[in-house]
Structure 1
Amino acid sequence: MTTFSELGLSDLTIQALSRKGFEEPTPIQIKTIPAVLAGESDIVAQAQTGTGKTAAFGLPLLELLEQDARKVQALVLAPTRELAIQVAEEINSLRGGRTVSVTPIYGGQSMEIQLRNLRRGVSVVVGTPGRVLDHLRRGTLDLSSIRFLILDEADEMLNMGFLEDVTEIMEQTAADKRTMLFSATMPPEILRVAKKYMGDYQVIRAASEQLTATQTDQIYFEVSAADKFEALCRIIDMEEDFYGLVFTRTKVDADAVSQRLMERGYDADTLHGDMSQSLREKILAKFKKRLARILVATDVAARGIDVHDLTHVINFDLPHDPEAYVHRVGRTGRAGKEGIAITFITPSEYRRLQFISKQAKTDIRKARLPKVSDVIQMKKERIRAELAAIVATEPELEFLGMAQELLEQSKPRETLAALLQHMFQEELDASNYREIEDAFVVDKKGKTRLFVTQGRKDGLTPKRLLTFLDENCRIPSRKVWDIQIMETFAFVSLPFQEAEKVLSMFNRKGKDGGFVFTKAKGRPTPPPVRK
């Protein structure tokens, strides 16, 4: 297993990665980071979305930039404002203690804020082509001395019609810069850009696996982040012989979940990259012998665990990318047996789940989380079955004699009830479980479903609705969820505060193209995730 420290990164960067819980590099990071650190050539890298491309160029970029420099040293171009914000936040989170400033610039954000940040001096600008061009034409952004230019999701920029904007920007950058182009696909237009505007470039391709999930029943539950642990306990208790892996995003979360499980009396253990090899082998051997029936692990374990007959794989946290999902799910449903893979998502993660489902070419069906009464009823049925099995073994004469004495001294029904209460009262106590609120309850942290008085016959499309909300209400598309366009009307879900803004601004007929928004009846229920 390759580690981040083997890629030539500094201790400062390794510490930043450790704080974020990153444990092993992805294939594109393994190939790209050393090439950027060691070489002088430009780079054309092909890798699918969600494979860690931001860290692949962001980590070596931070190593090579001058600190405390009040000038733009690197420009990252991204096709959408959402990606620009995401990339800027990711690079910022990897800085460690470095005095390197990163700022996103994109349409829809206050120009004054961007001008103020640029005047203050920034090291890395992450921007959309249109807004970068605005600043270049205003003379508020100088790219004549940048050292690095990164084109992220180059094929998407091409598909969105940004080719002319991108080439105009490239022509205004320093001639001796290093250029890195990242793209999921390599159409001829991308290669023509590389040949025309890049010097000698090195082509890097991450080996892409055919993403296919195993013969596993894949389910997702929508719960709030605070209710995930309670949901996990219900799933475990509904299974008569639970034997499974629980995946968390970071090692800190893995330790926390495992500790809480053990405090509740479950046979649980933890596995992550901070452990020595000997300790990991010891924990894994214990799990294989079923001395621990629940193993809480990070993704570092997904590629290395070879355990048969798992009943469940549970994604306590939604993985970052489709590959991680497939590797996790692949731990169950082996040797011709059907396993169960369960994923917990919050409402805001629904879109990412759709993306994972599409890329993994699999169906992930929505299911109802077991109620407390369901769990208690299941436990009662097990107790009945266990008692029937005990009776079938014909108890020893000593116990038959004691039973006869008890029945002679008290009523049979009350005697049996007392024994059951003594043995199982705590296990059957419903107060052991906490109520789980509907993830779609409308509160300030939830979402509101809106009814729109236009539909397909009015020319309404998801893109038009997204554009309308962005331009008129400053609501970015990442906050818009579950658009459904009908013939004469539509539905859309928004965070509570954004929904209130829309309702206050556009609830009068005839205003702004005839749009009228009202609160929809019922709760937003997304359609099943399909490939």
Structure 2
Amino acid sequence: MSDLTNFAELGLSAQTIAALKAKGFEEPTKIQSACIPLLLKDQVDVIGQAQTGTGKTAAFGLPILEIVDASAYQVQALILAPTRELAVQTAEEINSLKGDRHLEIAAVYGGASMELQLRKLRRGVHVVVGTPGRILDHLRRGSLNLEHLKFVVLDEADEMLDMGFVEDIEEVLKQTPENKRMLCFSATMPAPIRRLAEKFMRNPEHVQIAADSVTSSLTDQIFFEIRESDKLEALTRVIDMEESFYGLIFCRTKIQCDELSRQLSEKGYDAEPLHGDLSQKQRELILGKMRDHSISIVVATDVAARGIDIQDLTHVINFSLPEDTEAYIHRVGRTGRAGKKGTAITFVAPREFKRFSFIMKMTKFDIRRESVPDARDIIDIKRSRILATLTDLAEKHSDNDMFIPLAQQLLEGNDPEQLVASLLEHFYRDQLDVSKYQSIGGSQRSRDDRGDDRPSTRYTEEAGFTRLFIARGRKDGLDKRQLIDYLMEQVGAEDRDLQDVSVRDNFSFVSAPAEVAEKIIQAFSDRGSEGRPLITRAKPDNPNGKNLSGRTRSDRFEDRPYRDSRPRSGGYDRPRTPRRREDSDFQPYGRDTRQSEESRPSYDDRERFSSRPRSSKSNTSSFPRKSGPFKKRYND
């Protein structure tokens, strides 16, 4: 027996109940049961704290629809949202709840036509849903009048804080009447949000709803521990295992998003990227395709995915490990909703395992380890599906009289078994070709844990990769991300071309396909101050600062029995400082670093938006000058 009360007992009118029934709602969520009576009966300010997906929009939207005067075409409710997508989604949701009320709800956000918004505001609007930057713009223009405002709602307040909107919010609130009602909904309540509440709210009621355990129980959570370079192959296998994959794939960076969606598209999957560099029109088009099932995969960053709600997702894939526990909960909570089960899969590179273990400990979710599906198992599953589909077609006995003569002609003089086999080969050969799946290496934790950073056999000369030596290292301020970025920029290489990167104190190494390696060598053929090119081929017997047996040069010298009798200027007998363990964290899909370019505040709808600065191109024979940790120019 549910402990939730019925909608009719919350004080909602028959008109609203009818609208809810038309939408298929049966009973309210916990946040709705707690907030609606406070807003309708007690008429107090409310702070609602609950996770995304708990029905917060209806919790504040239904009371607003009850109280707003439909006969007065004035802005009586203002809802502030952190992103364009959430503003559009909230406006659509409230519009669907109004029933037969003659109310105008407008979404106002940056990136959309200002002229269209001005015309709509001039005609008269009852409820405005918008992003802080664009709302402030309209207030400065005088096109938005808040004189008759009854409600102000801060939706996803903590997200707006993270995105740097606090000052804009305060500026908007200063221009609202004192006798308004203020509602603040947020998943968390950091100090700046509490200060906002104290400053602008009057004795608010605090409603806190614990995360619903049913949500996590409906989501089957698993993880694969695999090498970073095997993630794409694992992803394609996961997709192929499902009869109807419909999922959201999370990456950490915009570059990684574009690269992964491109690779999936090239492999024949219907995938589109979603990140902050896309225009509003592009975002809406992609989300529209996803909702009408024109595409089945969206590859998104956390920032771009904030506020969007795609129903009935079968899978959420963490291609990149989430930044923290809260991000993990937010991601996996997008599937397994409304009583429907979903699957959340996380790809964990060996060096990320400690961080992922912390996420598992903090969430207390049952996240089990599994192996990547075997290629032959996938082929067997596909074969079974084809057989079931064709058998079902044969059993339907549809009106196929027009094809019977053709079938009889085909059977004349042909072996029926061979004929059917030929047809199956023609139409299903690609689906049943096991060679399309590449081999996946086993767990690398044992190798990584001992700090052995020898290049794997996958990137040796025999595998078609050339090992390159770069005469610059950490002491020059170089790190892996900068090295990969610059090589990509100068020679047009892709992430997957630059493998097994190792940056040492005074030099670095990278493996690349032979053709790409030649381009890199030619681009940096100019000689530096030492009289040698900045980038050359690594010596065959020393591809990574070690010989092929893994011993250092000093190891070989120390093996000499006569070293004491042969003193040299290098001093072979001196105690040698152990090499510092290299933290080989190469990741081939967009430098999956912990500090994401999208973890910084995004100001999509603000005119002072500025994208992350990229290093400007310089002469191909030199690395760009950097400040801070760079101690000397790369092209001495």
TM-score, L = length of structure 2: 0.40
Larger Cα-atom Rg:
2
TM-score, L = length of structure 1: 0.47
